Amino acid sequence: MSRANKTRYRRQASNGSKQMSFLPEPDFNPKLPSKNTLSFQALYLMLQGRKISHLDFQSETHSYRLAVFIDDLNKLGWPIQKEDIKCSMGKKSKIRNMRLYFLDRKIIAKSKKILGGAHV
């Protein structure tokens, strides 16, 4: 990669621009997980507009395996977004990375239209 291309790539990456697509977006048609599953509970929390971490999920469900259920939701067609943050658990603890999982507001709005206002 030439020096000019590297600079352009860094500039695009830093200002958040994306490459335009001339292809139509695929239809949003995810499947709901079964109601009595932890995948469903993770989806339910995110459909409320919450960003959930492993600690949040553990306090809600008593399960610490959130990543497994996020993977299940991705396979069902839910475009789960991720955000890494730095946090510390106490005054003298080390700063650690924590991942938050969430749904985009547009996806939440589309979901409500698809579900017809049904309580998930």
Residuewise pLDDT in 10s, the chain (120 residues): 555 555 555 555 555 566 677 777 777 789 999 999 999 999 999 999 999 999 999 999 999 899 999 999 999 999 999 999 988 777 777 888 889 999 999 999 999 887 765 555
Type of residue numbered 113: K
Q: Coil, helix or strand for 107?
A: helix
Query: pTM of the predicted model, to two decimals?
Result: 0.72
Query: Which residues are CB-neighbours of 100 under 8 A, at least 6 positions away?
Result: 51, 52, 53, 82, 83, 84, 85
In whole angstroms, give the CA distance from residue 77 to residue 54: 21
